[in-house]
């Protein structure tokens, strides 16, 4: 019996000693402080990283907004001097039309491609500048009557030189009513006498040759040096003769109407070949669209000129109905045309 009691005591003492060895010793105060500080540092680092990420997201959003704004400013609308300068409009109609045009251009604009093309002209450009045998029937048939289908929202023409469909009447040298000397930047035509008084503004001259057997558009420089039918109203005596270059494009009138931005206009000029100081044809000019450019110290322009209809022949009743689109000037880069830049 005593032996059993002794054995039980030994086992009890052994179990108590084993429990004492496995128990975790109590933490000291200093250790608790260190671990608490570590937790605080970890939380602080986590909050700092979260704040940094939020700051970067805000900055990225701001950069994206700035990029969108710059892209919209990059959509600079072309300038149409005929309807801009020579039609009386109601203010509300004018603002509404400008807003519609800008929205349409921006919806087609691709910010990742600054070379967004206009409705594509055909791939093969032939040299029409000096070849008279091509009448470009496709352009004539598809575009000659297109002006009748345009909505007449241009306003009231300022005089009889302009038509309600937004076109300008340009005669040849024998027309006594409409001038034949064209100022593309202002959208005006004047006769040979008036042009001689201010020749630096004349970009092209429309001629009927050989009693209406052929027609041509000449730069003043080329008209003074290359024509063989007399002095052509004294162009050779002008103190300034612009060296304008012209070439026929393959655009139809319908495609011309869709050109709305500087990028589209400049793409057409870039893709057109065969520039010369004149364009000559034995056929009428209905439906033709021309690329025109001039680079001089005191005058620069990039433009498209479209002939909607040709009336008459080589007599006093011959004239063209034309529209003009020129590269817009945006000096302050706000995305809007600086109209004062055209008053030169």
Q: What is the pLDDT of residues 240-292, one digit of tens each?
A: 999 999 999 999 999 999 999 999 999 999 999 999 999 999 999 999 999 99
Q: CA 169 to CA 179: how far, in whole Å?
A: 8
Per the domain annotation, does 234 fall within a domain? yes
Q: 91 and 51: one domain?
A: no
Q: 58 and 93: one domain?
A: no
Tell me the per-residue pLDDT of 88-118, one tens digit each, with 9 for 90 and over. 876 545 455 555 555 555 444 443 443 433 4
Per the domain annotation, does 24 fall within a domain? no
Q: 86 and 67: one domain?
A: no
Q: CA 167 to CA 306: how far, in whole Å?
A: 9
Among residues 74, 99, 132, the one where a domain terminates is: 74
Q: 233 and 319: one domain?
A: yes
Per the domain annotation, does 278 fall within a domain? yes
Q: 66 and 96: one domain?
A: no
Residue 84, burial from CB neighbour count under 10 angstroms (0-12, 13-18, 19+): middle
Q: What's the pTM value of the predicted model, to 2 decimals?
A: 0.66
Q: 145 and 267: one domain?
A: yes
Q: CA 106 to CA 327: how far, in whole Å?
A: 17
Q: 210 and 312: one domain?
A: yes
Q: 70 and 93: one domain?
A: no
Per the domain annotation, does 47 fall within a domain? yes
Q: What's the whole-number mean pLDDT along residues 143-157?
A: 61
Per the domain annotation, does 5 fall within a domain? no
Q: 171 and 281: one domain?
A: yes
Q: 69 and 91: one domain?
A: no
Element (H or E) spanning 21, and its range? helix 2-22
Per the domain annotation, does 10 fall within a domain? no
Torsion angle defined by CA atoms of residues 103, 107, 111 and 117, in that order, rounded to the nearest 10 degrees: -100
Residues 6+ apart with CB under 8 A from 42: none
| Domain interval for residue 231 | 81-342
What's the DSSP call for residue 111? T
Q: 205 and 283: one domain?
A: yes
Per the domain annotation, does 220 fall within a domain? yes
pLDDT at 128: 35
Q: 197 and 63: one domain?
A: no
pLDDT at 117: 39
Element (H or E) spanning 60, and its range? helix 29-74
User: Could you tell me the two tokens for 311?
Assistant: 């009336």
Query: What are the strands, taking DSSP E only, across the chain?
Result: 87-88, 156-157, 168-171, 181-183, 188-190, 204-209, 214-218, 245-248, 278-281, 289-295, 300-311, 319-326
Judged by average pLDDT, the poorest of 6-15, 229-238, 302-311 is 6-15
Q: CA 324 to CA 328: how far, in whole Å?
A: 12
Total structural domains in the chain? 2
Q: What 3 state SS string does 119-164 have?
A: CCCCCCCCCCCCCCCCCCHHHHHHHCCHHHHCCCCCCEECCCCECC
Q: CA 80 to CA 324: how far, in whole Å?
A: 6
Per the domain annotation, does 202 fall within a domain? yes
């Amino acid at each position: 019996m005593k032996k059993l009691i002794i054995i039980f005591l030994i086992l009890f003492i052994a179990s108590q000693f084993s429990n004492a060895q496995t128990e975790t010793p109590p933490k000291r105060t200093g250790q608790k402080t260190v671990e608490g500080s570590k937790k605080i540092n970890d939380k602080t680092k986590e909050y700092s990283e979260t704040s940094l990420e939020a700051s970067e997201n805000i900055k990225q959003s701001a950069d994206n907004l700035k990029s969108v704004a710059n892209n919209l400013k990059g959509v600079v609308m072309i300038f149409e001097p005929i309807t801009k300068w020579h039609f009386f409009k109601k203010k509300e109609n004018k603002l509404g039309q400008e807003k519609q045009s800008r929205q349409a251009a921006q919806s087609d604009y691709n910010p990742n491609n600054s070379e967004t093309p206009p409705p594509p002209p055909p791939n093969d450009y032939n040299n029409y500048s000096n070849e008279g045998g091509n009448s470009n029937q496709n352009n004539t048939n598809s575009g000659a009557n297109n002006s009748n289908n345009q909505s007449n929202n241009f306003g009231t023409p300022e005089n009889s030189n302009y038509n309600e469909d937004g076109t300008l009447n340009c005669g040849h040298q024998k027309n006594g009513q409409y001038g034949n000397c064209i100022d593309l930047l202002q959208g005006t035509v004047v006769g040979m006498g008036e042009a001689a008084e201010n020749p630096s503004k004349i970009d092209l001259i429309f001629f009927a040759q050989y009693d209406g057997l052929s027609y041509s558009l000449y730069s003043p420089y080329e008209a003074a040096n290359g024509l063989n039918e007399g002095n052509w109203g004294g162009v050779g005596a002008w103190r300034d003769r612009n060296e304008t270059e012209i070439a026929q494009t393959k655009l139809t009138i319908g495609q011309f109407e869709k050109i709305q931005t500087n990028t589209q206009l400049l793409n057409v000029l870039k893709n057109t070949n065969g520039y010369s100081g004149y364009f000559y044809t034995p056929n009428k000019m209905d439906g033709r669209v021309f690329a025109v450019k001039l680079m001089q110290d005191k005058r620069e322009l990039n433009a498209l000129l479209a002939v909607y209809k040709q009336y008459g022949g080589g007599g006093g009743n011959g004239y063209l109905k034309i529209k003009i689109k020129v590269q817009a000037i945006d000096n302050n880069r706000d995305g809007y045309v600086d109209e004062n830049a055209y008053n030169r």
